[in-house]
């Protein structure tokens, strides 16, 4: 799966928890995109399996910082967590309900088997198909540090 390149509004269950964040340098975040806190810079980056990344939730607004070589100085990106939503996965089965959901190795994808060695992003609440599940993504701070 490749990085998200367009806005993808999403339906979700629950009111969720919103927080505003700074955006890392040289990236463009789209609506609905899974995002991580980059612990090295303090800014929000595209979700990926990398050292010092912490899964935070999903972008609620678009922000283009791709032409800027520095972290934004203002909190310009609204991130939502504490929600239930459908996400694409690899290799899901009905027996995965109630099990952890992990951030996969590439941007914006999830997996039911922790092959990338990442922290938990959410919990599978409903099996839909081998490539689609409904999951609960807890409020900020629940996730583990991604990568090593």
- Beta-carbon neighbour count of residue 50 at 10 Å? 19
pLDDT of residue 147: 44
pTM, entire model:
0.84
Taking the chain (148 residues) in consecutive chunks of 10 residues, what is each chunk's mean pLDDT? 70 75 92 90 85 85 91 87 90 94 78 76 94 90 47
d(CA 38, CA 29): 14
pLDDT of residue 3: 66
Kind and range of the H or E element at 123?
A: strand 120-129
In our burial notation (b when 16+ CB lie closer than 10 A, e otherwise), range 72-101 reads beeeebbbbbbbbbebebeebeeebeebbb
pLDDT of residue 58: 92
Contact (CB, 8 A) for 33 and 87: no
């Amino acid at each position: 799966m490749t990085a998200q390149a367009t806005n993808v509004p999403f339906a979700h269950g629950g009111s969720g928890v919103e927080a505003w964040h700074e955006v890392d340098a040289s990236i463009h975040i789209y609506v609905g995109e899974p995002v991580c806190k980059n612990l090295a810079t303090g800014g929000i980056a595209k979700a990926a399996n990398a050292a010092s990344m912490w899964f935070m939730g999903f972008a609620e607004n678009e922000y283009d910082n791709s032409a800027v070589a520095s972290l934004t100085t203002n909190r310009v990106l609204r991130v939502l967590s504490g929600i239930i939503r459908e996400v694409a996965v690899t290799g899901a089965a009905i027996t995965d309900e109630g099990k952890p959901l992990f951030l996969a190795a590439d941007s914006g994808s999830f997996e039911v088997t922790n092959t990338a060695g990442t922290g938990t992003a959410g919990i599978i609440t409903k099996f839909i198909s081998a490539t689609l599940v409904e999951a609960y993504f807890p409020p900020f701070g629940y996730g583990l540090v991604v990568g090593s």
